Structure 1
Amino acid sequence: MNDPPLASLSLTHVHYNPVDRLSYICAWLALVPQALCVIYVTLIWSTREVEILLMFAGQMACEALNWGLKRWIKEERPRQMNGKGYGMPSSHAQFVTFFSLSLSLFLLLRHNPSSRPPPQTQQQQPYSHNPLPFTHRLAISVLSIVSAGVVATSRIYLNYHTPRQVMVGCFAGAVCAVGWFIVTGLLRRWGVVEWGLELGIARWARMRDLVVEEDLVEGGWRRWEERRRVRLRVRDDGGGKKGR
């Protein structure tokens, strides 16, 4: 009889208008940052790429900055919003802006795949893989930025933030993305990334740094093609022997 009232976990608790279909879609868009965190962790675990780990570290630093800014500025959310916490700047807008701009900077400025085969494979079968062209990478970048804009706008539509709070969040996310891109570039130039990959913990975790120079869909493809050719050769040889 004296149990305390139950509370709602605000991480996934989103208010929306049940009779408004667009409001319902915006409520799902509010879960994009959580989905991106799952994607980050999945990619880090499956690829062991240090570039993704660095991007995730910057993403978390950006989120920590948002937490500090909200408690420093202390600007309330719109009056018609029923949620808790401060609203300046919008954490959703800052999160997705950092992600989309960091991805775009990587694809357009840092990602430099080659259509030439590595030296150890030049004497093997012809190298027929074509890296993702720049125009495709540009299209992905534009799509990611537009998607970030949609998520940020949804926060205004749901009355969780004012337009000014969303704009400041986008600006803060953009500054963090550009700043972190410069920092990681300097870390690469100074050899800090290469040094870190030689540490025992990085070697134990099998961290690597291939995605900068290797095409996004190339990882493992060459090994798969080699194994496929071996299987086909064995199958053809076996069929020839049976024919004899």
Structure 2
Amino acid sequence: MEETPLASLSLTHVHYNPNDPLSFASAWLALIPQALCVVYATLIWSSREAEVMFMFAGQMGCEALNFVLKRIVKEERPKQMLGKGYGMPSSHAQFMAFFAVYLGLFLLCRHTTASSQSPTAIPFVMRVCITFAVCVAATSVAISRIYLNYHTQRQVLAGLGAGIVCALTWYLITGYLRMYGWVDWALDLTVSKFFRIRDLVVSEDLNEAGWQRWEEKQKLKRRGDSKHLATKSD
């Protein structure tokens, strides 16, 4: 009996030149969008933050737009690449452009406007460094798609442009929802309270806020221990 030939899961299957270190590095860069999806899921489950959910919803909307655009344009990938599917625009470039631009806008604009009232907000220098690092990562992923011959320069530039437009549009939409109280309304719903959805990350660095609460708890514990020892010595 003839065996059915095995298929390859293209989601994580990346072609690269094993004799080229840059090609090997580019193959790993191609996995960053998948890794970020894991980060999204982890943050949503652990933090229950509304802003993270907003960003992930916009990210998925950006991916849906890429799916539609590829089937409208129907431009093939470079001839050197044996992979399947259309190449215009690059989904990797579009994904990373959205992530970098939206996160940068959040850190430098939305978080800044609310952080002046909170001592636990992320410091401005750190926000700038994070934004710069994410932009470098997005650029590296985009270049890697050209280096691996998965996309042409035009396809990557189109993906970057689409991702930037999606990020700007979604940032304005979420800003509108915040300005006119729709976010507060949604957070007051029973289902939001059941899942403990909150909106603290806009004005707080959750790691720093959590650390300060831990420090306060430890101080109270040390005071209690010292009082207990004093009472015991009497």
TM-score, normalised via structure 1 length = 0.91
Does 1:106 find its partner at 2:106? yes
How far apart, CA to CA, are the structure 2 residues paired with 1:25 and 1:91?
19
Which residue of structure 2 lines up, in the alignment, with residue 168 of structure 1? 158
Cα displacement string for residues 129-181 of structure 1 (whole angstroms, at most 9, x for unaligned residues): 56332222112111111110001100001000001100000000000000000
Does 1:7 find its partner at 2:7? yes
Pairwise CA distance, 1:54: 0.4
Which residue of structure 2 lines up, in the alignment, with residue 239 of structure 1? 229
Which residue of structure 2 lines up, in the alignment, with residue 147 of structure 1? 137
Which residue of structure 2 lines up, in the alignment, with residue 83 of structure 1? 83
Does 1:225 find its partner at 2:234? no
Does 1:37 find its partner at 2:37? yes
How far apart, CA to CA, are the structure 1 residues paired with 2:116 and 2:174?
25
- Cα pair 1:115 1:130 within 8 Å, conserved: no
Equivalent positions of 1:193-208 (< 5 A) are: 193-208=183-198
- Cα pair 2:77 2:85 within 8 Å, conserved: yes
Which residue of structure 2 lines up, in the alignment, with residue 191 of structure 1? 181
How far apart, CA to CA, are the structure 2 residues paired with 1:241 and 1:114?
43
TM-score, normalised via structure 2 length = 0.94
Which segment drifts farther, 137-146 or 171-180? 137-146
- Cα pair 2:102 2:168 within 8 Å, conserved: yes
Cα displacement string for residues 34-92 of structure 1 (whole angstroms, at most 9, x for unaligned residues): 10000001001111100000000000000000000000000000000011000000000
Q: Secondary structure at the match of 1:218?
A: helix
Pairwise CA distance, 1:221: 2.9
Pairwise CA distance, 1:243: 4.1
Unaligned runs of 5+ in 1: 118-128
Cα displacement string for residues 68-125 of structure 1 (whole angstroms, at most 9, x for unaligned residues): 00000000000000110000000000001100111000000000354666xxxxxxxx
Amino acid at match of 1:199: L
Which segment drifts farther, 180-189 or 216-225? 216-225
Amino acid at match of 2:202: V
- Cα pair 2:48 2:198 within 8 Å, conserved: yes
- CA RMSD between the two structures: 1.6
How far apart, CA to CA, are the structure 2 residues paired with 1:115 and 1:189?
18
Instruction: Name the one with the larger helix percent.
Output: 2
Pairwise CA distance, 1:236: 1.8
- Cα pair 2:122 2:204 within 8 Å, conserved: no
Percentage of pairs with the same residue: 59
Pairwise CA distance, 1:230: 1.4
How far apart, CA to CA, are the structure 1 residues paired with 2:120 and 2:199?
20
